[in-house]
């Protein structure tokens, strides 16, 4: 067990922020997180967070995953005090962190996310993980599944992926899995690219549009300049920033602010 006092960190807000789809609420304050081939239970009361893992695993994986070495107070303090909308959104989602997630997992996740809601995305990813991911057992005995590899998904037919409720997105996932498994698409190379280069390369994947490419750049490559625009964000921009979002003022932190806006719009529409 690892216990930390962490400001600007809220497991509930992160869970509901739409950036990770294998994090689930167990009770009001307890969550389970599956990332890559790892499993974690975490509990939070105020700023006190308990991570049910070894100190070594926390230091080598989860600290980076949750981006805990970054001061998110800097982003909130940088908001224009006259921008009451953005200040309110940031206050509501002040515990959100931009997670450092696996590139392959995010490519598949956001291919599946198109024209989909968070609940259904989670169900789809759970189904492909159970069917094609390696079965694992956590230290507490919990049985879970690692996220399926490109090689595993490349063996699935489009019909089999449709059976996992992927719908028309099945052809996108299968095509990308085949290209990654064959080496035609090298994820290691994409990880080393600049944001514009990575975005351009991701747009070459079947089914990846601008919004999906930006989501992958933000959530997997941690390119904080990425500002994905979906329906929620577009409506917010039209209402609150008809002249365009002031990206120049917030250079290098647009993605963090995008998450505050997305979370605010998502919560207010529910």
Phi, psi angles (nearest 5°) of residue 171: -70, -30
Q: Kindly give, in sequence order, each residue whose CB lies less than 8 Å from that of residue 65, ignoring residues fewer than 6 positions away.
A: 35, 99, 100, 101
For the residues 240-254, what does the mean pLDDT come to?
94
For the residues 218-237, what does the mean pLDDT come to?
96
CA-CA distance, 169 to 36, in Å (whole number)?
A: 21
Q: For 141-194, how does the pLDDT look when each residue is reduced to its tens digit (9 = 90+)? A: 999 999 999 999 999 999 999 999 999 999 999 999 999 999 999 999 999 999
**Is the confidence at residue 270, as pLDDT, over 80?**
no
CA-CA distance, 245 to 254, in Å (whole number)?
A: 9
For the residues 219-238, what does the mean pLDDT come to?
95
CA-CA distance, 76 to 222, in Å (whole number)?
A: 18
> Which of 232, 245, 270, 259 is CA-nearest to residue 93?
259
For the residues 18-44, what does the mean pLDDT come to?
95
CA-CA distance, 117 to 154, in Å (whole number)?
A: 25
Joined tokens for residue 167: 């719908």
Instruction: Give the strand pairing for 2-5 and 135-137.
Output: unpaired
Q: Which of 63, 87, 211, 248 is catalytic?
A: 211
> Domains plus CATH for the chain?
2-92 (3.30.310.260), 103-219 (1.10.340.30)
Helix/strand/coil for 33: strand
The whole-chain average pLDDT of the chain stands at 96
Rounded to a whole number of angstroms, the CA Rg of the chain reads 18
Percentage of residues in the chain having pLDDT higher than 90? 94
Residue 139's pLDDT is 86
Helix/strand/coil for 13: helix
- Please state the separation of Cα 165 from the chain's center in Å: 20
Q: What angle do CA 27, 32, 36 make, to 5 degrees?
A: 165
Q: For 95-143, how does the pLDDT look when each residue is reduced to its tens digit (9 = 90+)? A: 999 999 999 999 999 999 998 889 999 999 999 999 999 999 998 899 9
CA-CA distance, 235 to 237, in Å (whole number)?
A: 5
CA-CA distance, 177 to 188, in Å (whole number)?
A: 15
CA-CA distance, 98 to 224, in Å (whole number)?
A: 8
Residue 136 appears among annotated catalytic residues:
no
- What are the beta bridge partners of residue 50? 3, 43
- What are the beta bridge partners of residue 23? 33
Residue 115's pLDDT is 86
Q: For 38-89, how does the pLDDT look when each residue is reduced to its tens digit (9 = 90+)? A: 999 999 999 999 999 999 999 999 999 999 999 999 999 999 999 999 999 9
Helix/strand/coil for 5: strand
């Amino acid at each position: 067990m690892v216990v930390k006092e962490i400001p600007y960190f809220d497991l509930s807000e992160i869970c509901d922020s739409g950036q990770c789809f294998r994090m689930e609420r167990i009770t009001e304050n307890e969550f389970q997180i599956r990332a890559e081939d790892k499993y974690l239970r975490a509990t939070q009361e105020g700023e006190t967070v308990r991570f049910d893992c070894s100190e070594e695993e926390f230091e080598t994986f989860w600290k980076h995953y949750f981006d805990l070495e970054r001061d998110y107070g800097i982003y909130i303090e940088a908001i224009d005090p006259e921008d009451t909308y953005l200040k309110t959104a940031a206050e509501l989602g002040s515990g959100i962190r931009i997670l450092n997630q696996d590139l392959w997992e995010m490519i598949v996740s956001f291919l599946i996310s198109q024209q989909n809601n968070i609940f259904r995305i989670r169900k789809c990813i759970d189904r492909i993980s159970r069917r094609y991911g390696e079965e694992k057992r956590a230290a507490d005995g919990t049985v879970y599944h690692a996220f399926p590899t490109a090689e595993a998904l490349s063996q699935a037919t489009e019909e089999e992926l449709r059976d996992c409720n992927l719908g028309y997105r099945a052809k996108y996932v299968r095509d990308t899995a085949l290209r990654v498994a064959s080496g035609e698409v090298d994820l290691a190379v994409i990880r080393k690219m600049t944001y514009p280069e990575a975005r351009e390369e991701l747009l070459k994947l079947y089914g990846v549009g601008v919004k999906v490419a930006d989501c992958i750049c933000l959530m997997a490559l941690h390119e904080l300049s990425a500002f994905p625009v979906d329906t929620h964000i577009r409506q917010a921009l039209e209402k609150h920033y008809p002249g365009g979002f002031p990206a120049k003022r917030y250079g290098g932190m647009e993605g963090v602010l995008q998450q505050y806006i997305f979370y605010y719009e998502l919560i207010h529409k529910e």
